[in-house]
Structure 1
Amino acid sequence: MRKERIPTVVLILAIVVTAYLVATQRGYTPLTGPISVVDALGRTVQVELPVNRVIITGKSAFPIISVAYMFPSVRNVLYGLDPRTASVPLFRAVDPAIDTKTLNQEIGAGSDSPNVEELAKLNPDLVIFKTAVKLQVAESLESLGISVVYVDLENLDSYLRDIRLLGKLFGDEPRANNIASYYEEKYHYVLSQTASLPQSERPKCLFLYYSTKGGTVSFNAPGPNWLQTSMIDAAGGYPLSKELGATGWNTVNFEQIAQWNPEIVFIVTYSEEPSAASVKENLLNDPLWKNIAAVKEGKVHAVPDDSHLIAIGSWDAPNSRWILGQLWMAKKIQPALFADLDLASEARLFYMNMYGLDEKQAGEIMQQITGDL
């Protein structure tokens, strides 16, 4: 007996209706057609929804990837990203097909001037850049009919704004609101415990990036407006980097550190060799540092890192896990106020709830975390 074939148009209609119903049950109706958004540079950009081919590349693109993968639909529409970012275990767990989406070297993935011609050949609907990428690149792509949006993702305010912007671009504003609410809730939980602390109860904290770039060892502290400085402030400490002038990394010598005499020191290296943990041990055993208050009290801490690749996984950097770093710093700086805070549990739930990992996958990421969790 011959089976009846379902007409193709009926099948397509059924798929569309099913997708619509699923979306409606989640509390929103998928948007189609053109929308107008304002990006991090204040540019008004027209984007046609739904976007089906998204590239995220250019200088410092890794924070964008880290937030984008919080949206379940992104693994289906993202097809262009930096190979270095694609090697991160967390992102590989979220997107098993990530190796098929890496961009070739001709693109200039880590550059502030990615190759426009090579990007255009990939025929994207949308390209998302960090604000570190030159505006001329966007203008050239837009002249070819390709939408370009800039995001910043450098502090709480820009995180909340850009998460909601990405929610519009990916057609999932409810998810964006949930993610933004998580960041707000955790940040304000910390502030609720520390905001009223007098200066006398705020230990002097120094955040140090130990660098061996170019074969030269240097200690660097963040500028007064950088995320690490505001994290220490929110966590109930006094960030000594407030006293520095430059907006970027400031090289500081031992004489300056000794004069400050920090009570708590946080260490990052953004590399596996040397690791933050090994630098920490060296400082604790260095006779030159023995009179520094933080060394005397054993309060030199290696910042947790879940990918050990530049700043992509370090909990102080403006990737998605900075909020875990905020909680971690609060517990290190004001242990009495945050005695009930279980960092391991917070991190495990973050990987599960924000990235959709199951308990086993989250546990595997947890096992890779280095530093003083």
Structure 2
Amino acid sequence: MFKLNTPCLLFKLYVVVVMIFGFSEKVLCLEKDFTKIKDSRGIIVKVPKKINRVVTISDGMVEQVMTRLGVAEKIVGAGSECIPKKQWNSTYPALGKKKYTYKGGMHTATYLNPWFIDIPLITRYGAGINYEMLTALEPDIVIIRAGSCSFSGSKHVMEKSISLIESLGFPVVVLHGPDTYDDPDILTIFQEIKILGKVFDKIKTADNLINFLKKTLEFIKIRTKNIQESEKQKILLLGLSQTARSDGGAGHVKGADTIESYFMNKFVHAENVCKQKGAWNILNTEQILALDPDVIILITAWGYHPPQELYDAPYYQSLKYLRAVTNHNVASLPFSPCNCEKRLEFPIDVMIMAKTAYPLLFKDIDLASWLLNFYKNLYGIDSATAKGLRSCQWMDWTLDQEK
């Protein structure tokens, strides 16, 4: 007859119970170490509460927001060649034998975090991700901003890259830049900031940042709200790039479905003279002459381009009879390297468009001083650092303008 060994059975049962409760307690402890974040894809991502090592694939927006949140020192790897670069120089010819050179251009995120210059680069525009380097960096989280140059024009490549990174065991939070949507909207930028605030447990700081950006935009919108339809200035967003000229065009032009066009309509109350869709349309001389805008705003396009290049460069003399050129109604936006998606300083673009289009409405705004106050409030920095940002974005032309 089978005899039950009660003491032995009870001991085994005790061991099993301890193992079950011990495992459950461990699982609970692990769960407490993570936060669930819904990213721009609508996907819930479990991210560690203690984040010490971050790899970003972004042209600057993520790095800029992290700087404002006070967590930029956690970045151990970048995915844009414009982040770990010391400075840029830009040269263009004038009529005769003259040449003009701009020196010391720098990404604002790198200016504020000089150690970014030595940061490892895991990918860049036109190249795949170095997964071996990524693994060696041992990030607690990888943050990717869709729309950045490293993934521009290839949603499939980005999705495949995300899957591969996740398969390595690294949580991936994805942000969607405004131009990745069919109808770009400022609310998506605010949502990106909110997500980063949650990731780094800096929700209040993120909300304060959003409120400051909203207040700045509202100030501009109130100034221009009474502009009548017949009074709206027609603006051309033009990039004077060598790339466009090499392809037979005169420049790159921002189309009607871009975030810049949204800013123009929503806050500046002006009209984008280009009705084509697309962010980097190549237009030839005849097409630009036919548009004949009231205002030309020069964007970063494969380099910085000041109004003087449009006025004086020999290869743009065919555009000298445009109304905006003859009236010297041309202004440059801040230097923004790797300019594939809009970044944190975007209200500067809106102010420059508005002040150039409607100078009388903004005649009391000293743009040079306004910029310093904007930088100081945006990043929580002192006046000396703000002046450095104005210089590295090649915005010191505002000093001459206000004399």
TM-score bracket relative to the smaller structure: 0.7 to 0.9
Matches of 1:164 and 1:222, distance apart in 2: 28
Write out per-residue CA displacement over residues 337-362 of structure 1, whole angstroms, 9 at most, x where no aligned residue.
22222322222123223223322222
Q: Quote the residue 1:129 is aligned against.
A: 144
* Contact 1:280 1:302 (C-alpha < 8 Å) held by counterparts: no
CA distances 1:88-138 after superposition (whole Å, capped 9, x unpaired): 3633443243344x114xx32445742334312211110011114411222
Aligned to 1:207: 237
Partner of 1:248: 279
C-alpha distance in structure 2 between counterparts of 1:356 and 1:196, whole Å: 33
Q: Which residue of 1 aligns with 2:76?
A: 79
2:269 is the counterpart of 1:236: yes
More displaced 10-residue stretch of structure 1: 37-46 or 202-211: 37-46
Q: Structure 1 residues 211 and 367 mapped into 2: Cα distance closer, same or farther (>3 Å)? A: closer
Residue of structure 2 in register with 1:29 after alignment: none
Alpha-carbon distance, 1:56 to partner? 0.5
Residue 300 of structure 1 corresponds to: 330
Contact 1:63 1:153 in 2 (8 A): no
Change (3 A) 1:89 1:109: closer
Tell me if 1:46 matches 2:46. Answer: yes
Do the aligned residues in 2 keep the contact of 1:267 with 1:279 (CA within 8 Å)?
no
How many Å separate the matches in 1 of 2:317 and 2:110?
A: 43
Counterpart of 2:89 in structure 1 is none
Bigger shift: 211-220 or 46-55?
211-220
Residues 1:311 and 2:339 are matched in the alignment: yes
- Aligned mates of 1:210, 1:299 — CA distance in 2: 16
TM-score by length of 2: 0.73
Provide, for residues 33-66 of structure 1, a one-character-per-residue CA deviation record: whole Å limited to 9, x for no partner: 3222221222221112121111102xx5323222
Note closer, same or farther for the CA distance 1:286–1:114 as it changes in structure 2 (3 Å cut): closer
**TM-score (normalised: structure 1):** 0.79
2:60 maps to 1:62:
yes
Unmatched 5+ stretches in structure 1: 1-31
Q: 1:138 aligns to what?
A: 162
Q: Percent identity?
A: 22
Distance 1:112 1:174, change over 3 A: farther
Match of 1:221 in 2: 253
| Aligned with residue 168 of structure 1, among 198, 206, 227 | 198
Letter of the 1:44 counterpart: I
Query: Does the 8 Å CA contact 1:235/1:330 hold for their aligned counterparts?
Result: yes
Q: Distance in 1 between matches of 2:234 and 2:372?
A: 30
Find the aligned partners of 1:348 and 1:331 in 2 and give their Cα distance: 16
Paired with 1:365 and 1:250, the residues of 2 have a C-alpha distance of 30
What secondary structure sits across from 1:128 in the alignment? Answer: strand
Superposed CA deviations along residues 271-314 of structure 1, whole A, max 9, x for unmatched, are 55x73344222379965334322122221222232x6x4438xx
Q: How does 1:309-348 map to 2 (within 5 A)?
A: 309-311=337-339, 318-348=342-372
The Cα of 1:237 is off from its aligned counterpart by 1.5
Could you tell me which residue of structure 2 aligns to residue 186 of structure 1? 216
Q: Which residue in the other structure is 1:149 paired with?
A: 173
Contact residue 41 and residue 131 of structure 1 kept, 8 A? no
RMSD: 2.6
SS at match of 2:377: helix
Distance 2:51 2:315 in 1: 54
SS of residue matched to 2:135: helix
Contact 1:283-1:289 at 8 Å conserved across structures: no
Matched residues in 1 for 2:310 and 2:125: separation?
Answer: 30
Aligned residues: 327
Give the structure 1 partner of residue 108 of structure 2.
90
